[in-house]
Structure 1
């Protein structure tokens, strides 16, 4: 089993949560809401209004991010990797999170955007991806992954 932290469209009530809650995609058990220990830049970008958690090369910019921690099996991890276009767009990376009410730090996987246009750092940095922010989101089945890659990557 793997611990995976989600901060965007996979959270409960958000557009891609159906993937993580469908048993045909594998096992996913919601553990609790958690915050990142480190500050990250969470921005909404691209023509598809995708939430991006940027690899921490921003020299202290950003916020502690609120998201959800799940325990998933290998099959679900592959499902999530496919959604996140790992390792082409996002890179599944280890980060540390902690439950709001506890001090224990847990290492888990999350999906970070590692190779992006510097302009993404000029966007508003969120501490939580909200339902309001997701209202403009365009799901993967309505776009080409190549288009998303070209809109955020340094190279095309």
Structure 2
């Protein structure tokens, strides 16, 4: 099912002008993302701007690449990074390391110890991660891999650059990018009370090692 298109160039995309953009949607007590008809298990926030749109089925047929910010198991050295390296999934090019300009709660939750970025801007910590330029095929793969819109929703956030594509290369002062990120607005209320992380590592001192999909 396609997300309702709007004209204009979405931030975070590169290439010729794009004719598609997420349309804003509101959701409330009905616990449904109305334009998608997807039932949600917990109330979702009202969305007033496409910059924080919960829609995930954005087609990039006219846009060669998009910036995606990864903060969990897709980072280098983490259990699922291999899917970004697999050309069968599409193309992903490392652009640098960054940190969200706004704080968010990054928690480890669920029986498989999955890192989850809760869509509660202004709470938690500024989260560190990596920025990748991905093509349409990889973006479609990531949408499916991240289980959106049920498990995660693809939204846009602004990310301050920490280093450039060459390891250790300092970015220009004040450099930032608007990136897609997979966060979740569908979570039990008690997840927001879990310990907040600013830089995820599956083997970190938290002791909650990620359980890979192949072991479940």
Task: Classify the TM-score, shorter chain.
Answer: 0.7 to 0.9
Equivalent of residue 129 in structure 1, options 179, 197, 200: 200
Equivalent of residue 61 in structure 1, options 123, 146, 153: 123
Query: Which protein has the larger Cα radius of gyration, Structure 1 or Structure 2?
Result: 2
Following superposition, the deviation at residue 98 of structure 1 comes to: 1.3
Greater helix proportion: 1
2:166 is aligned to none
CA contact (8 A) 2:106 2:197 kept: yes
TM-score normalised by structure 1 residue count: 0.85
Say what the alpha-carbon RMSD is for the aligned residues.
1.5
2:145 is aligned to 83
Match status 1:5 vs 2:69 = yes
Greater strand proportion: 1
Unaligned runs of 5+ in 1: 144-156
- Secondary structure of the residue aligned to 1:119 is helix
1:147 is aligned to none
Map residues 137-148 of structure 1 onto 2, 5 A cutoff: 137-143=210-216
CA contact (8 A) 2:72 2:200 kept: yes
**Number of residue-to-residue matches in the alignment:** 141
1:110 is aligned to 181
Unaligned runs of 5+ in 2: 1-64, 163-170
The higher relative CO (CA closer than 8 Å, separation ≥ 6) is in 1
TM-score normalised by structure 2 residue count: 0.62
Following superposition, the deviation at residue 135 of structure 1 comes to: 6.3
Following superposition, the deviation at residue 104 of structure 1 comes to: 2.0
